[in-house]
Amino acid sequence: MNTFGRLFRISIFGESHGECVGITIDGCPAGLSLSAEDMLPDLERRKGGKDKGTTPRQEDDYPFFKSGVFNGKTTGFPITILFENKNIRSEDYQKQRSIPRPGHADWVANQKFGGNEDYRGGGHFSARLTAGLVAAGIIAKKLLKGISISAAVTEIAGENDLENGLQKAIDAKDSVGGIVECRVSNVPVGLGNPISIRWNQVCLTCSFQYPP
């Protein structure tokens, strides 16, 4: 499934090297001020091609509103946002057909979809799809005004020194474990309960701390 949530429901779509990726958001009330410019600061933080250990791929990541926004405000109907894919080098992924990347969904997607998946750039399993998730988060942040949410990587490959941990991963040319801590504060009583989620050690550990 590619749809998540109940009251605020999001559906991601697209592939890494397709024409575009995007998201549809249902459940956003009418009258919320929203523009592409509101999204650019957080989308800029998501971009690759700038920091060590990130993808060298660079895209504009400009959000195109296709529905749900009129005269600068949400209409109350589903919001669809597209992000164009322009920086594409699909030939770099040919070898993945015989040598799947460790820590990625290449082999699992091939087995699940019988070789019919779009494997270029990781296809639907690419981090490119997170552009839409960031867009949804920006809208949610507007709706949750006053609630503070912050997240940070605190450990990579067993190292608290993130630079050393990242270098170990680069040198090994492999996937490594890590810890991401997320803190949510100023949550009104009754809105939600503290959550603790742990993935296996080859992925990430995520801990929610509330109250701060």
Ranges of each domain in the chain: 1-145, 146-212
The pLDDT of residue 99 is above 60: yes
**pLDDT tens-place string over residues 141-190:** 899 888 877 788 888 888 888 888 888 877 877 777 788 888 877 777 66
* Helices within the chain (DSSP H only): 36-46, 106-112, 130-143, 162-172
Architecture of domain 1-145: 4-Layer Sandwich (3.60)
- Pick from 42, 57, 53: nearest CA to 141: 42
**pLDDT tens-place string over residues 101-142:** 777 888 888 899 998 988 887 889 888 899 999 999 999 989
Strand ranges (E), 59-156: 64-67, 69-70, 73-74, 79-84, 148-156
Percentage of residues in the chain having pLDDT higher than 90: 36
Q: CA torsion 167→172→176→180, rounded to 10°?
A: 10
The pLDDT of residue 22 is above 90: yes
Give the Å distances, CA to CA, from 101 to 95, 129, 179, 185.
10, 18, 21, 38
Q: Is the pTM of this model over 0.75?
A: no
Between 84 and 49, where is the model more confident? 84
Average pLDDT, the chain: 81
User: Who's near 105: CB < 8 A, 6+ residues apart?
Assistant: 122, 125
- Pick from 109, 97, 79, 86: nearest CA to 21: 86
